[in-house]
Structure 1
Amino acid sequence: MQAVIGLLVMMLGASYGLETYCDSRQDGAQCFGPLGGTVVLQLLDRAVQTHRYKLLTKTMIILNVINNKILSNDKEKRSSFNLSDGTFRLNNLSRTDSGEYNLEIREGIKITCHALRLTIQAPVSSVRLASECLSQGEKRVSCSSGGGDSPQYSWTLDGRSLTDAELQSVNTETNSITLRQHVSGIVACSVENNVSRFCGFTFIKCTSNETQISQWVFAANNMLCFEPTTPPTTISESSTVVDHSLLVCGVRAAVVVFALIGIAIYFAWKKKKYKKDEGSAYRPEREHQDESVVIVEM
């Protein structure tokens, strides 16, 4: 099972096909692209036939468009410009693609120019969580990421933010937190930067004798972090796995069966008693009627 989960994490951790979008129609836009991935720059609403467009850096012209015709594209092998929606797509991004870009729009003698800043970042590739029980039943959980430029860490407990009553301390240098004695549940660590996000989950519960009752880890590179629908299997101190859910379900089923049997017996008894009472009430009435008839005949 652990091997399957590890393989799944490796598959989800791949950054192939990662793509970001940036609206760069305003001057001074800050855009980010994933290293090895794709960035889509919204340069304008759409290309107008009577206008001339140039996308350039300080040293070279990247794109030159006149009358809705692309005259030149310096990055033609890994880029494309969509005339209908005004987007410029740049694939297989490298560190050298970072820098200042300028879009020059010429309409007759009128020239409009706005700049954008493109920064290429390595995406976060994985998340690892480590947890331990402390002497008084506190829980320390640390989080680390594989790769990624300028990662930012955040924590949640059962899908919500931690409160001061639950959080004992935070260490930003080691990216770890310490939870108070009474706290237990699903602790999630989210690691993200401007081009990617990864989440890891661990379920932990500690006792005062430093026993870690259970632990389970899940990771995924979805843009949103999803909580597991059920908690992990509890591991006892003797490392024997006990499926309490089956026991509970069995007890509940037995209670339901006995309840149904009791109800059936009760209604059967009531029905039998009703018939008996009905018979006893019916018979005297018939005898009285017979006696009345005899009296009339005399």
Structure 2
Amino acid sequence: MEAVIGLLLMILGVSHGVETYCDGRQNGAQCYGALGGTVVLQLMDNASEISRYTWSIKTTTKTDTRTTTTILIVIKNVIVSNTIANRSFFTPSNGTFRINNLSWTDGGEYELVIFDSDGKISEQRTLQLTIQAPVSSVLLVSECLSQGEMRVSCSSEGGDSPQYSWTLDGRTLTDAELLSGNTETNNITLKQKVSGRLVCSVRNQVSRISTCDHSLLICGVRAAVVVLALIGITVYFAWKKRKYKMVRRKMEHQENSVVMVEMRS
């Protein structure tokens, strides 16, 4: 009955958000799930031939007391109990356990215990499930500096343990193009004359999102405009100074001519 309910929930699309997969067949596997999303855990290859097994979560209380809560009990290929059947589905034929609508409390250490036909433990495995909030959006802020360099800041909303990376025209930025920072920080400064499609990517274990900046060329244009403006101003004042000198010389020449006339009289 619980398996049927779980299947119906999947068909109706109860699961939503980011879906991740983790191979938990190796002892001590590290798995990640997105908050509000779905995780598919590969617990074993084929559970149909196993006599009995249980799957539990170990939690620590506020008083540092370790408690174990059994989630799944399967005996002779029959699901006897699934305490989260309203948002999960276990498939014995391929050994996958799917959990939907993940919450923070789903994170923790899980243990799979397999029993043989005599009721003795034949195998024990654990996996660690970490829940992370996915990155929801990325904001890119750029600032043109006086010499044509560009300072760029990349920030993200949501997302636990974000990691940053930068590309220019689809390739990783080089040290020759960076004035400060590196491709794994969220703040960089690009040297002048660097142009192209700059992309900042933010990721964690459950999500990845990117945004690009088209203002690189604008910084170069601004720098060129500033240089041309300075050249223009310099040329203008040089012309004004030259013109002033020419006018002054002409006036002095006229004054000297007048004096000469007066002496002849």
CA contact (8 A) 2:153 2:186 kept: yes
Give the SS at the match of 1:194. Answer: coil
Q: What is aligned with 2:77?
A: 68
- Report the equivalent of 1:104: 113
How far 1:171 sits from its partner (Å)? 7.2
Unaligned 5+ runs, structure 1: 1-14, 213-298
Aligned to 1:216: none
Counterpart for residue 52 of structure 2: 52
Query: Within 5 A, what are the aligned runs for 1:130-279?
Result: 130-170=141-181, 175-203=186-214, 204-205=216-217, 206-207=219-220, 209-210=222-223
2:136 to 125, 149, 157: 125
Q: Give the alignment's TM-score, normalised by structure 2.
A: 0.71
The structure-2 alpha-carbon separation of the partners of 1:193 and 1:100, relative to structure 1 and needing over 3 Å to count, comes to same
Cα separation, 1, equivalents of 2:75 and 2:16: 34
Amino acid at match of 2:70: I
CA contact (8 A) 1:142 1:174 kept: no
Give the counterpart letter for 2:47 in structure 1. Answer: A
Correspondence for 2:87 among 78, 84, 91: 78
1:28 corresponds in structure 2 to: 28
What residue ranges of structure 2 are gaps of 5+ in the alignment? 1-14, 59-67, 226-265
State the shift of 1:210 in Å. 4.6
Q: Does the 8 Å contact 1:136/1:208 carry over to 2?
A: no
Indicate the residue corresponding to 1:236 in structure 2: none
List structure 1 runs of 4+ shifted beyond 4 angstroms: 171-174, 208-212
Higher strand residue share: 2
Structure 1 CA distance for aligned equivalents of residues 197 and 100 of structure 2: 38
Measure the CA separation in 2 of the matches of 1:166 and 1:178: 9
Displacement of 1:132: 1.6
Distance, in Å, in 1 between the alignment partners of 2:204 and 2:91 is: 28
1:160 maps to a residue whose letter is R
Structure 1 contact 156–188 (Cα < 8 Å) conserved: yes
Is the 1:44–1:86 contact (alpha carbons within 8 Å) kept by the matching residues of 2? Answer: yes
How far apart are residue 207 of structure 1 and its match? 3.1
Supply the distance in 1 between the matched residues of 2:70 and 2:186 (Cα, whole angstroms). Answer: 44
CA RMSD of aligned residues (A): 2.1
Secondary structure of the residue that 1:165 maps to in structure 2? helix
Q: More relative contact order in 1 or in 2 (CA 8 Å, sep 6+)?
A: 2
Q: In the aligned structure 1, how far is the partner of 2:224 from the partner of 2:153?
A: 18
Provide the rounded CA distance (Å) in 2 between the counterparts of 1:95 and 1:40.
16
Distance 1:174 1:81 in 2: 41
Question: C-alpha separation between the residues in 2 aligned to 1:211 and 1:150?
Answer: 40
- Partners of 2:184 and 2:26 in 1: how far apart? 37
Q: Distance in 2 between matches of 1:195 and 1:107?
A: 36
Which amino acid is the alignment partner of residue 88 of structure 2? S
- TM-score, normalised on structure 1? 0.63
Query: Aligned with 1:137: secondary structure?
Result: coil
- CA-CA distance at 1:107 after TM superposition: 1.8
Contact 1:133 1:211 in 2 (8 A): no
Determine the C-alpha separation between the residues in 2 that align with 1:24 and 1:124: 25
